[in-house]
Chains A and B, each alone.
Chain A
Amino acid sequence: MEYLTLFLGAVVVNNFVLTKFLGLCIFFGVSKNLSASVGMGMAVTAVMVMSSALAWLVYHFILFPFGLTFMTTAVFVLLIASFVQLLEMVIKKHAPALYNMWGIYLLLIATNCIVLSVPLLNIESNYGFLLSLVNAVGSGLGFALAIILMASCREKLRLADVPKSLEGIGIAFILAGMLALAFLGFSGMI
């Protein structure tokens, strides 16, 4: 039950993009078309789960026992960035088809706040290993949900007559505001 609550919470109630403002750079950057945002959502989820697992192990077996917790931020950033780079190389070598589909998104994720924040929040909230993974999957899917919704809206918006000064990023922000309002409806759920 605890797992389910956490999972649902991460997907809709505490949606990372719309309530915690994380991952906005890619949220606005990639949401211009739908297929790209599906790929991005999947790539973020995958990277987030793997890097959460890795970061949890490093924190609990290296940083904490040796009293190096003040270095958490620096270590996590380097860990995730190098892990993503490695992942990119492996996928390029062994699954070129997959690489052609999602490869370009991987590099964008390497240093991104949403991927860094989930491992950090897992440590901060003292989650166990499994709970951390559940949180990562939920947060990743929440991100995917938000970016796919946003991309669908923006594709429709292309046909609309937007005032000149609001064109581009301006109207995208207002749209995100509307989505955030809609997600507010979930807030009493858990």
Chain B
Amino acid sequence: MKNYWQIFKKGIVAENPIFVLALSLCPALAVTSSATTALTMGLSVMFVISMNNIVVSLTRKVVNPKVRVPVYITSIATIVTVVQLVLQAYAPDLYDALGIYLALIVVFAIILARAESFASKNKVVPSFFDGFGMGSGFCVALVIIGIIRELLGAGSIFGVKILGDWYNAPLIMILPAGGFILIGYLVAAWKILTTHMEKKQAERGEA
């Protein structure tokens, strides 16, 4: 059980897909102008990456390594289509808000990277936890960005007004430029956090 926790945890902090690996950045900026769309995107990716890791892990002995990439892409595309159809049917507003970026989950580097580097070499259960951890890390990063941008840019979180009328929202946070700059600083903050944690761990290891 502890091993699974380790696999799960590394996706969230030490190898956070967005802040550390800097993979799949497009959605991190495009859908994070509000926390709600960021959360939906995060959950969709979490689902796709976990499911895909299971499929890849189950078929890892059947698939010829030469054709593995097309097989992975087909599997991912199928799962993404399922997510698209479900959202279109039950949450049409969110589907519209996410727009083209939902279809683009298919080509997220992080999903292919996890299938290639982890799920194709490991058993089903660890693969699931790896996908789940990476997906959660992605989701957490997206929601953090979404909350900050929505709070600063519109004075609300998840559509609920937090800051009163006195708050004169700077438009730049909703605009692309603000997103880029904010992520730059968040990446830096993450780096400080992880180096601090590593230092602590090293100290504990020595003591």
Instruction: List A contacts of B107 (CB < 8 A).
Output: 77, 111-113, 116
Partner of A73, one of B22, B26, B106: B106
Q: Does B183 sit at the interface, judged by CB under 8 A?
A: yes
Of B122-130, B148-156, B186-194, the one contacting chain A is B186-194
Across-interface contacts of B25 in A (CB, < 8 A) = 21, 24-25, 28
Assembly CA distance A113 to B81 (angstroms): 16
Q: Is B92 an interface residue (CB 8 A)?
A: no
How long is the Cα–Cα vector from A120 to B100 in the complex, in angstroms? 8
Query: Taking the complex as formed, is B137 at the interface, i.e. its CB lies under 8 A from any CB of chain A?
Result: no
Q: Is B185 an interface residue (CB 8 A)?
A: yes
Any A CB within 8 A of the CB of B94: no
Binds A, one of B34-42, B53-61, B72-80, B160-168: B72-80
Question: Who on chain A is nearest to B180 by CB?
Answer: A177
Complex CA–CA separation, A124 to B23 (angstroms): 26
Residue A86 interfacial (CB < 8 Å):
no
Cβ–Cβ contact B185 & A174, under 8 A = yes
With A73-B81, A111-B107, A120-B100 given, is the CB distance from A174 to B184 under 8 Å? Answer: yes
**In residues 74-125 of chain B, which contact A (Cβ within 8 Å)?**
74, 77-78, 80-81, 84-85, 100, 103-104, 106-109, 112
- In the complex, B177 has a CB within 8 A of chain A: yes
B81 & A77 in contact (Cβ 8 Å cutoff): no
Contact A111 B112 (CB under 8 A): yes
Query: Interface residues of B: mostly helix, strand, loop or mixed?
Result: helix
Closest chain B residue to A27, Cβ basis: B25
**Contacts A111-B73, A116-B104, A170-B191 given: A178-B26 contact, CB under 8 Å?**
no
Q: Are A21 and B29 in contact (CB under 8 A)?
A: yes
Against A, the Cβ 8 Å flags (1 = close, 0 = not) of B21-33 are 0111111011000
- CB-CB under 8 A from A177, the residues of chain B are 177-181, 184
Q: Contact partner of B26 among A77, A113, A180, A184, CB < 8 A?
A: A113
Contact of B177 among A24, A82, A120, A178 (CB under 8 A): A178
Q: Please, which residue of chain A has its CB at the minimum distance from the CB of B181?
A: A177
A113 near B180: Cβ-Cβ < 8 Å: no
Binding site for A on B (CB under 8 A): 22-27, 29-30, 69-70, 73-74, 77-78, 80-81, 84-85, 100, 103-104, 106-109, 112, 172, 175-181, 183-185, 187-189, 191-192
